[in-house]
Amino acid sequence: MRRITAQEFEYYVSTFSGAVFRTAMCYTKNKADADDIMQEVFLKLYTADTYFENDTHAKAWLIKVTANMCRNMLKNPWKKLIQPIEAAENMPAESERKSGLVDIVMKMKSKNRIVLYMHYFEGYTTREIAEILGIKENAVTSQLYRGRKQLKDLLLKEGYDEL
């Protein structure tokens, strides 16, 4: 194994930072935490002794590392004691925020949210998602089914009548 070069590192950051950030946002629902996770993921990439066969392999590795770091962060007992800054009283009311599909997706359960993101936004198959997240393919299929149902229910609840 060898460490990646500075040029390779720059390429991976410029190519995959969006996917890493969006994956982290799916787990954390918080921009600051997602930014922190993204930095840690790319630091891990920079210091890792790894070789990627192609871009698909690199992207899968980055998303897997992102998912693992997010799960570790969310298991931290400290995380349960703190409130996001958005919960502060001087923040604008929810009705003043831009609403949209992203806000609705962020209301979903974490398991369902991440598999929907990986399937629809990153284009992974159920088999690939199972490998990346380290779960069974049947579990991914179930989470996709439940996620679609939950998303439909949330969309109807938010007033999107034409589904």
Question: Final residue of a domain: which of 91, 109, 144?
Answer: 91
Q: Based on the domain organization, do 101 and 67 belong to the same domain?
A: no
CATH, residue 32? 1.10.1740
Q: What is the pLDDT of residues 62-87, one digit of tens each?
A: 999 999 999 888 876 666 555 555 55
Q: Based on the domain organization, do 85 and 115 belong to the same domain?
A: no
Please report the pLDDT score of residue 163 as a whole number. 53
Please report the pLDDT score of residue 106 as a whole number. 75
Q: Based on the domain organization, do 80 and 99 belong to the same domain?
A: no
**Considering its fold, how many domains does the chain have in total?**
2
Using CA atoms, how far apart are residues 25 and 7, in angstroms rounded to an integer?
Answer: 27
Q: Based on the domain organization, do 106 and 78 belong to the same domain?
A: no
Q: Based on the domain organization, do 45 and 72 belong to the same domain?
A: yes
Q: Based on the domain organization, do 85 and 110 belong to the same domain?
A: no
User: Structural domain of residue 43, as residue ranges?
Assistant: 1-91
